[in-house]
Chain A
Amino acid sequence: MAQELDRLIETPSQTAGPYVHIGCLPSFAGVEGVYPQDLAVTPFAQGAAGEIITITGSVYDGTGTPLCDAVLESWQADAQGLFAGQKGADEKVSGFCRFAADKDSGEFTLRTIKPAAVHGRNKQIFAPHIALWIVARGINIGLQTRIYFEDEDNHADPLLARIEQDHRRATLLAKKVSTGTYRFDIRLQGEGETVFLDL
């Protein structure tokens, strides 16, 4: 027998379930009056530097049906590539937003600041992107993915470079609809399945 590694093990995930809004977006669930307002309904305040963009999309299940009960969270850098709390970061950018798929149509909308590229360890540079986390009934552990932008230079991005198939890489690129407007659909399973991440 070898020595034991004295490390703890992460608590296992469980599905967020259909009523996740009560805890995370109570006013969506119809629970009013406990908190003054829902947490993190916007990732920036007026006066933040950078281009304001709107990203809309839907989360589709394996049958092609949009989820009407998904909750999404986004986390991103500011227009200089810095995260909230880092030295020099834009104080008007919290970088974090929580939003739900519409209960009837399943469409979500994220209005945010377009992030800049982010510098990582070992001189890695990540193209502008927004980290996404998706939870819903039937999703047993939150799904991580990223929104990149088709109108940015993505060729040297270390994460995108790890994706073997070109058509799969495209699942992480938001499509430009018009100036400041993008479309980003997420497919949980099957044809056009989004690349989900384990980082």
Chain B
Amino acid sequence: MREATALLPRRREMHPVAYYPEYKTSAVRSPSLPLLSMESTPSEEHGPCFGHSAIGSLDNNLITNYTQGKALALGERIRVHGQVLDENARAVPDTLIEIWQANAGGRYRHIKDTYFAPLDPNFGGCGRTLTDANGGYEFFTVRPGAYPWPNRANDWRPMHIHFSIFGHAFGQRLISQMYFEGDPLIELCPIVATVRKRSQLERLIAPLDMQNARSMDYLAYKFDIVLRGYRQTKFENKPQGM
């Protein structure tokens, strides 16, 4: 077990703003007072650990996992792959990634989704995997459809896959969304626009990766993820002031 070291402070300016009135729900769900900032403590520096035994062999294949391989989901077959690193460019191995998404028609399998695009009887919409020793991961799925949502009069979410990543420390916990290169709806989406820094927003857009596509089978998109890093110092365990 690694000794707990302080996490690098989170660079909040690289994240979405909490209050963004064009995304209407954020207006009443964003704290109005400043966050309390201090150096991370053991509660943020340790984190839950998930073993390989907890992950089934089909868990990262959303094309087959809902029917346990009996039938295939409808839609454009894609592979989504990438690497998880920390801010010090170290690979993050054995970390849990969970994804969820709408089906090819833009409909979620969720008790609260009432959009009239049909459910796909062969598609559940969730998957999970652990990164390998180099922080690498891959999912097989179908390209999710864009969908309308109640916000402004006619808002549509661009095609996207939701990502949940753990890292090895609770303070690294992150949920985000992956968008698809070339989707014109990205520029129109107020949820995307909560990330005010253009260079950061672009990091959520996965490029088409034909090198990793497979002929007569699937397209590929590459989505790399960076989690918070640890402070690196040779003096960490010396008493203060020495």
A residues lining the B interface (CB < 8 Å)? 6-24, 26, 29-31, 33-36, 39-40, 61-63, 65, 67, 69, 73, 75-77, 83-87, 94-96, 103, 118-122, 124, 126, 129, 131, 133, 135-144, 146, 158-159, 162-163, 188-190, 193-199
Also in contact, A9 and B87, with CB within 8 A (given A33-B68, A84-B49): yes
Please, which residues of chain A bring their CB within 8 A of the CB of B152? none
CB of B154 within 8 A of chain A?
no
Could you list 30 examples of A-B contacts with CB < 8 Å?
A: A8-B85, A8-B87, A8-B88, A8-B226, A9-B200, A12-B201, A14-B16, A15-B16, A16-B162, A17-B162, A19-B110, A22-B109, A30-B109, A35-B56, A35-B128, A39-B50, A39-B98, A40-B48, A65-B28, A73-B173, A95-B48, A96-B48, A139-B30, A140-B194, A158-B38, A159-B36, A195-B36, A196-B35, A198-B38, A199-B40
Between A and B, how many residue pairs show CB distances below 8 Å? 271
CB of B174 within 8 A of chain A?
yes
Q: Which B residues between 59 and 92 are near A, CB-CB below 8 angstroms? A: 59, 65-66, 68, 85-89
Out of B20, B25, B88, B164, name the residue touching A23 (CB < 8 Å): B164
Whether B38 and A199, one on each chain, are in contact in the complex, defined by CB atoms closer than 8 angstroms, is yes
A-contact bits for B127-170, CB 8 A (1 contact / 0 none): 11000000000000000000000000000000000101000001
Cα distance A95–B50 when bound, in Å?
12
CB of B211 within 8 A of chain A?
no
A34 CB to nearest B CB, Å:
5
Out of A15, A34, A196, name the residue touching B59 (CB < 8 Å): A34
CB of B176 within 8 A of chain A?
yes
Please, which residues of chain B bring their CB within 8 A of the CB of A124? 41
Cα distance A7–B85 when bound, in Å?
11
B residues lining the A interface (CB < 8 Å)? 1, 6-7, 9-12, 14-18, 20, 23, 25-33, 35-44, 46-50, 54, 56, 59, 65-66, 68, 85-89, 98-100, 108-113, 124-128, 162, 164, 170-171, 173-177, 191-192, 194-195, 197, 200-201, 203-204, 225-229, 239-240
Whether B18 and A141, one on each chain, are in contact in the complex, defined by CB atoms closer than 8 angstroms, is yes
**Nearest CB in chain A to that of B162: its residue:** A23
Whether B31 and A193, one on each chain, are in contact in the complex, defined by CB atoms closer than 8 angstroms, is yes
Whether A133 and B162, one on each chain, are in contact in the complex, defined by CB atoms closer than 8 angstroms, is no
Whether B174 and A31, one on each chain, are in contact in the complex, defined by CB atoms closer than 8 angstroms, is no
Also in contact, A133 and B1, with CB within 8 A (given A26-B126, A118-B43): no
Out of B39, B111, B195, B239, name the residue touching A30 (CB < 8 Å): B111
Q: A138-B28, A188-B28 are in contact. List 12 more A-B contacts (CB 8 A).
A: A9-B11, A9-B87, A16-B164, A23-B162, A35-B56, A94-B48, A96-B48, A124-B41, A126-B41, A159-B38, A199-B40, A199-B44
**Nearest CB in chain A to that of B112: its residue:** A18
Please, which residues of chain B bring their CB within 8 A of the CB of A94? 48
Cα distance A138–B56 when bound, in Å?
32
Whether A34 and B41, one on each chain, are in contact in the complex, defined by CB atoms closer than 8 angstroms, is no
Also in contact, A14 and B204, with CB within 8 A (given A19-B110, A19-B113, A159-B41): yes
B97 CB to nearest A CB, Å:
10
Please, which residues of chain A bring their CB within 8 A of the CB of B17? 140
Whether B98 and A23, one on each chain, are in contact in the complex, defined by CB atoms closer than 8 angstroms, is yes
Cα distance A80–B17 when bound, in Å?
38
Which of A65, A129, A133, A139 has its CB near the most chain B CB atoms (within 10 A)? A139
Out of B41, B89, B164, name the residue touching A118 (CB < 8 Å): B41
Out of A14, A22, A33, A120, name the residue touching B110 (CB < 8 Å): A22
Please, which residues of chain A bring their CB within 8 A of the CB of B37? 197-199
Also in contact, A76 and B108, with CB within 8 A (given A26-B126, A198-B12): no
Also in contact, A133 and B170, with CB within 8 A (given A10-B228, A86-B46, A159-B38): yes
**Nearest CB in chain A to that of B224: its residue:** A11
Cα distance A73–B78 when bound, in Å?
31
Please, which residues of chain A bring their CB within 8 A of the CB of B42? 77, 83, 118-120, 126
Whether B225 and A13, one on each chain, are in contact in the complex, defined by CB atoms closer than 8 angstroms, is no
